[in-house]
Amino acid sequence: MGCGGVGRQLLQHIVSCRSLHAKQEIHLRVVGVCDSKSLVVASDVFTRELNDKFLSEVCRVKSNGLSLSKLAEFDECLIYSNSESKRKVIDIAALLGKSTGLAFVDCSASYETIAVLNRVVDLGCCIVMANKKPLTSTLEDYDKLYSYPRRIRHESTVGAGLPVIASLNRILLSGDPVHCIIGSLSGTLGYVMSEVEDGKPLSEVVKTAKSLGFTEPDPRDDLSGMDVARKALILARLLGRRINLDNIKIESLYPDEMRPDVMSVEEFLANGIKLLDNDVEERVKKASLKGNVLRYVCVIEGSRCEVGIQELSKTSPLGRLRGSDNVLEVYSRCYNEQPLVIQGAGAGNDTTAAGVLADILDIQDLFP
């Protein structure tokens, strides 16, 4: 579900890994692909699949911004649209769920997949997610998705391909209580913070990040801290915290008068963001005088769950962070004086899709 950058990259990974997987006697049979408007499925979901040539064509069509309906000329597929597609998805889940370990893979960025995921989980299907929205919706939706915890994987919702969720689950299942998590979980904000540390104005750094493709088309989507807050909520709920987004303290890097509904992105980049330079520069200097640096981090400790700028020691794993890498420090009974540190590339379609593929393969081990 979802044919954007991550979804297309996942299909390309599946195709390119055929020979590798064949050596391990694994074959991933893709029986359907859908976007927000259409569903394409194999003509017989019991015995057939969307072959590699067809999957490559899906990627080409979607890369050009076209509809999946353009694939109607292919004999091996059936195409459904709108509400009809949702009914067909549920039908396929009922047919294949418990018997085959059918996996629904959510690579969208939408809340609209939640209703489908809630239905298919009861039909015996596995769920793999790169989409953070379902896991950061209501606690009722979260509990429903996690009603069969062995059948859900969502590593890519927090650190792209980094083993964050798997590591935390191993610690928790061993009976080792996690009492604190501190992490830099935004490649964009990690890059911004390490660059302003070098004395560059925030406005210049953000414009450079945008030109490099590190930010969303409107950089305020990153600077608001909401993406980090969603990741923090996923981690907090994994630790057993019964909270919602409203319970998280979120520091935005821009004031309310620069919100997207008040100021256009063009005005923000041309004039608005320059007004933030002095304040950030002053905070960087104050931290430096104490031997510290500024990082945009999430902190989960006790009842505290917040995201924002923190002063950290230059010698800490987070303080040493440069560029767009992600870093997570996990403190528990066993990892007390020296935390478990997970670091690496935490963004990008390629890395995220690789994490999704690893989750799909991992979850298939549940089925003979």
Give the catalytic positions in this structure. Answer: 231
Give, as one character, the DSSP assignment of residue 100: I
* Residue that has been written with the tokens 């909520």 in this structure: 233
List CB contacts of 105: < 8 A, sequence separation 6 or more.
1, 10, 128, 129, 130, 356, 360
Q: How many CB atoms lie within 10 A of CB 313?
A: 13
Closest CA to 119 of 99, 100, 136, 102: 102
Q: What are phi and psi of 205, to 5 degrees?
A: -60, -45
Tell me the pairing of strands 304-313 and 292-301.
antiparallel
Q: How many CB atoms lie within 10 A of CB 350?
A: 17
List CB contacts of 264: < 8 A, sequence separation 6 or more.
none
Give, as one character, the DSSP assignment of residue 77: E
Q: How many CB atoms lie within 10 A of CB 315?
A: 10
* Residue that has been written with the tokens 């931290």 in this structure: 287
List CB contacts of 110: < 8 A, sequence separation 6 or more.
2, 36, 131, 133
DSSP H helices in 147-225: 156-159, 164-173, 187-197, 202-211, 220-223
Q: Are 309 and 202 in contact (CB under 8 A)?
A: no
Length reported for the chain: 368
Q: Given strand 178-184, what is the order of strands in its sheet? A: 249-250, 304-313, 292-301, 178-184, 325-332, 340-345
From first CA to last CA, the distance across the chain in angstroms is: 25
